[in-house]
Structure 1
Amino acid sequence: MLKFATNLTFMFTEVPFLERFAMAREAGFRRVEFHNPWPFCEDTAAIARAAEQAGVRIIHCNLPGGDWQAGERGIAVFPDRTDEFRQAVVSTIAIAQQLGIRQLNCPLGYPGSSLSHDQWYSTLTNNLRYAAKTTAQAGIMLLVEPLNPITHPGYPLINTAQALELLAEVDHPNLKIQYDFYQMQRSEGELIETVRQHRDHIGFIQLADNPGRHEPGTGEIHYPFLFRELQSMRFDKVISLEYSPVTTTLDSLGWISDYGLNLDA
């Protein structure tokens, strides 16, 4: 049986952040994730209470990505921000432990033209080695996510092959791939075959349809086939719903029963 979660940054936004945990549980979800909670709530204890009272587990969030409003998507590639990155790893681990989170995604950052490939790649691999080792000591898995080059031009990780090369270079068993069906449909296609071939390197899956990044059934990705194949291979990692509903979150969930799935696992 497939295991699902929902992303509270994208979904259940009809209510304030701390109310989304209960709304997600009422919809049937046992697991939730978010990019990070700090734009919505600075009180970690309040987040923990909201999840506990709702009866959901927080399983995943991001490491800080720098100045998100200014367009930054991570700081791990910048040599002059190594101390900032490593401090963020330590502080986020402390928050993750308070919330029971066992997976952290690391946004990498846009290197730009001011850094040579060797400069940013060496910085990135060293930072990821540090982060993978430090998170492993805390019992937390570290993830990196390839993003599509259409909406993220200049991002240093845009397909599975690059992600696998990065994992090999870092060479730490605690570093895995966060595989996003929406992102990788736009980057490379071959979704189910990629998962089949590299499932041991994949720690987490996110989903949305394309185009639009809406719920399954609104675009070109044949999700009934994907789910059948994932079930046939007994895929046991969590699959998180990270999409913008066309109308409301609750109205967007009909595909779950339509495809013969449920949220019980």
Structure 2
Amino acid sequence: MKRSDFLKNSGLIVGSTLLASTELSAKNSEGIVINKQPFKLDYAPHQGMFSASSGNNFLDEIKYMHDLGFRSIEDNGMPGRSVEEQKKIGELLAKLGMRMGVFVVPKGGNGANTLAAGKKEHVDIFLKGCKDSIEIAKRVNAKWVTVVPGDYERRLPIGVQNANVIEGLKRGAELLEPHGITMVLEPLSDTPDLYLRFTDQAYEICKAVDSPSCKILYDAYHQQKNEGNLINLMNQCWSEIAYIQVGDNPGRKEPTTGEINYKNIFKWLHNKGYNGIVGMEHGMSASGKEGEAILVNAYRHVDNF
């Protein structure tokens, strides 16, 4: 079926017929579904996804997200916000009964600052990021922070690199564990230079670190590119997965734009008893208020299982 036909048939464009679901109760004047009934899974948008309707003030956008039925947010750039803004966001989330999803640990091992090298200066930067993240997490009541170990250190044997990463993460976990914060390791697909790319690799590392503060962030977009076989691999590594992110492939847009059967994946997560956050780590297939309508109704569609 063509994408355009799917949108028309499913009611995903402004002014079209709504999906045949009792949950989709009304549209506002911009054609976006207003439904405070939460989704079955806890999807978390990012700032800017609804700014065409809510404006550029993030607090106003969070309120608007709540009106649409979302009950969590993500904000990778939270460490770059002022302390005052972080506190306001945290207070608003508490008032609305919403959860804070992941933000990225400042310089948490990305790129050339790699834990695989085992260098003290790299580990010190990572640990400082963990300490800073604890204070940020307190302001916004965050329970998860994203960590990427960085690039391979090609001059070292892989076993030595593995040991270096595990040792560095153990030290980070020791800082986070007393505060009930979990660093979630994200295997990525962006470049072959990245040390952490596969689900089973992340699983092995988390088992070795052996801490409730070191788990896996499973991003289905990256893993569809890296390895496929999504449900089977999630199931095999489930005990170490603490957080989910999504984006369709190809294109990294909202569900229904690519090849991933998110309705089946979300049904599987629901049946698995997953009550964590599903981060909307992707772009949008259309801009403006029309794009916002497509986005919301796409999630209502894949959440209707």
TM-score, scaled to structure 1 = 0.84
- What do you get for the CA RMSD once the two structures are aligned? 2.7
Moved more, 56-65 or 124-133: 56-65
1:191 to partner: Cα distance: 0.7
- Aligned pairs for 1:74-223 within 5 A: 75-78=114-117, 79=119, 80-113=121-154, 117=158, 120-148=161-189, 151-223=190-262
**Equivalent residue, structure 2, for 1:51:** 93
Deviations along 1:51-72, one digit per CA (max 9) or x if unpaired, are: 346553213212113698xxx4
Asked whether the 8 Å contact 1:103–1:140 carries over to 2, the reply is: yes
Q: What percentage of residue pairs aligned between the two structures are identical?
A: 25
1:10 to partner: Cα distance: 6.8
TM-score, scaled to structure 2 = 0.74
Q: Name the aligned partner's letter for residue 104 of structure 1.
A: V
In structure 2, C-alpha distance between the alignment counterparts of 1:28 and 1:82, rounded to whole Å: 40
1:3 corresponds to which of 41, 50, 57: 41
Higher relative contact order structure (alpha carbons within 8 Å, sequence separation ≥ 6): 1
1:206 to partner: Cα distance: 0.5
1:39 to partner: Cα distance: 4.3
Asked whether the 8 Å contact 1:10–1:243 carries over to 2, the reply is: no
1:237 to partner: Cα distance: 2.8
Deviations along 1:87-114, one digit per CA (max 9) or x if unpaired, are: 1111111110121001111122124546
Moved more, 182-191 or 76-85: 76-85
Deviations along 1:192-248, one digit per CA (max 9) or x if unpaired, are: 112222221100000110000001111011112212222333333322221101113
1:237 corresponds to which of 248, 272, 276: 276
In structure 1, C-alpha distance between the alignment counterparts of 2:88 and 2:285, rounded to whole Å: 30
In structure 1, list runs of 5 or more residues that go unmatched: none
In structure 2, C-alpha distance between the alignment counterparts of 1:128 and 1:215, rounded to whole Å: 32
Deviations along 1:104-139, one digit per CA (max 9) or x if unpaired, are: 111221245466645643332222001112211111
In structure 2, C-alpha distance between the alignment counterparts of 1:112 and 1:11, rounded to whole Å: 37
Q: Name the aligned partner's letter for residue 275 of structure 2.
A: D
- Shift in CA distance, 51/241, structure 1 to aligned 2, threshold 3 Å: same
Moved more, 57-66 or 197-206: 57-66
Structure 1 consecutive aligned stretches of length 4 or more whose deviation exceeds 6 Å: none
